[in-house]
Chains A and B, each alone.
Chain A
Amino acid sequence: MSAETDPRPTIEVDLSINGRSRRLTIEPRETVAEVLRGRLALTGTKVSCDAQVCGTCTVLLDNRPVSACSVLAADAEGQALETIEGLADPESGDLSPLQQAFIDHAAFQCGFCTPGFLMAATALLREEPDPSRERVMEALEGNICRCTGYVPIVDAVLSAARRSAP
């Protein structure tokens, strides 16, 4: 099979993105990042290293963090895919406690890594609503930030956890 000249295979997939169902015809080779950014104009998910190392492209699949650059969109079928665009309240536009905490603590500078951190932190707080500082740092070790030196990010996550505590 010649990749260049044969017609490219396609597949129909049913995706659930931020609670909304979408049926798309895509190529099996397309990653979640490519589908989000290229087909759905959901450009909040950024791609940096494109090798699942940096965490910039973190999205959630059934509450678990995954690298959108390295997961086939077809493999997101049947799971709840959540992106940065889904964190704020869809009706009121109110930011999630984490998003607000990031603003309060200036937990970003250039903002390129920010959606990835917010999704990773969202996953963490869903699983562990009251993490220690060490746990937060450990859980976010797989996300790279070049601007902030991480301190305000960790502070923001802890602050959001405290604020959401029952």
Chain B
Amino acid sequence: MIRPFELHRPTTIAEASGLLMTLPESALYRGGTELLQVMKLGLARFAHLIDLKRIPALHGITTDEAGSIRIAAGTVHHEIERSTAVRAAWPALAELERHVANPRVRSIGSIGGNLCFAEPHSDPAALLLAADARLELEGAAGRRTIAVDDFILGPLESDVAPGELLTAIVLPAPAAGMTLAYRRLALAERPTASVACRLTVLHGVVVEVRLAVGAIGVRPVLATVASAALTGVPVTDLEEAIRVASPLVGQACEVVDEPGASAEYRRHLAGVLAGRAVRAATELMA
């Protein structure tokens, strides 16, 4: 059961940041879909919870003139799934959001909460890494922007300074010839392996590949060697390149056994899913 705590409901980011700095044993939450579970299990205890739901600046999706999409960190998965802007620019993200956990988690869980909790199997983290999204943070020391790769440090560890809040996720507008695809396999509640692929094809040639592998390691990682094997390849030769690249994908990070899925199998799955993600990305641009 959840141990007793005091509840605080700030209405601005500055107020939330201030509370975080001054209250001992305090934590931020929006949906609480991860936080409340660890509190129930007695794995974490907080004397103060700071509810972010009443801060308008932390909710909503906007697009600027350049076409880049800014998703405020407290925006729930369900809203992102249905956003016309996200569907138009990055349909893979909308599709991924549609499959996070279950409908109940998607009703109240936020993308920012998911990223900050940094659960190793997180779907959004892997996809945002491939998409080269930027994360905006704000705290007492001001604002900063950071890449996903630098934000997620390890299992359940994200680069949030004391008193800092993740405020937004920013995705650039897709460049010419650029698509994003995501494939995952979940043998239990959390994904067993996942791969996100951002592909840029110009004049029939793959000019850039960002393959991000999620779920199999302690954090999502870029499979740079596998990506290199796919770069510069004519689309017509892609199947052969996938065959070469697939076994390399699972080597991108340390992998551990899980019940029902050994490390060796998970590495293999990552390779299979990479191939499927790459094919899906090419089909999207057709």
Contacts and interface: CB of A to CB of B under 8 A. Distances in A.
Interface of A: 1, 3, 6, 8-9, 11, 27-29, 31, 50-53, 55, 58, 61, 64-67, 70-72, 74-75, 120, 123, 139, 141-142
Contacts, number: 76
A9 B4 contact: yes
A70 B78 contact: no
A83 B159 CA distance: 40
B40 A51 contact: yes
Contacts of B51: 74-75
Contact of A70 (B5, B33, B49): B33
Interface of B: 1-7, 25, 32-33, 36-37, 40, 45, 47, 49, 51, 53, 78, 101-105, 107-108, 189
Given A3-B3, A29-B5, A70 B107 contact: no
Contact of B78 (A1, A64, A74): A64
B5 A66 contact: no
Nearest to A139: B103
A22 to B, nearest CB: 18
B6 A70 contact: no
Contacts of A29: 1-5
Given A51-B40, A75-B53, A66 B4 contact: no
A55 B107 CA distance: 13
Given A52-B105, A141-B102, 14 more contacts: A3-B3, A11-B7, A29-B3, A29-B4, A29-B5, A31-B2, A51-B40, A53-B189, A65-B103, A66-B104, A67-B105, A70-B33, A75-B32, A142-B104
B104 A55 contact: yes
B30 to A, nearest CB: 10
A3 B4 contact: yes
A1 to B, nearest CB: 5
B102 A53 contact: yes
Chain A CB within 10 A, most for which of B25, B33, B45: B33
A9 B78 contact: no
Contacts of A123: 103
B49 A67 contact: no
A9 B33 CA distance: 22
A32 B3 CA distance: 15
Contacts of A120: 103
Contacts of A11: 7
A73 to B, nearest CB: 11
20 contacts: A1-B25, A11-B7, A29-B2, A29-B3, A50-B40, A51-B37, A52-B102, A53-B102, A53-B189, A55-B102, A58-B104, A61-B107, A64-B78, A65-B103, A72-B7, A72-B32, A75-B32, A120-B103, A141-B102, A142-B103
Given A72-B32, A75-B32, A75-B51, A52 B7 contact: no
Nearest to B54: A78
A77 to B, nearest CB: 9
A70 B4 contact: no
Q: What are the 7 A-B residue pairs with the smallest beta carbon separation, nearest first? A: A142-B102, A28-B7, A64-B107, A29-B2, A8-B4, A9-B6, A67-B104
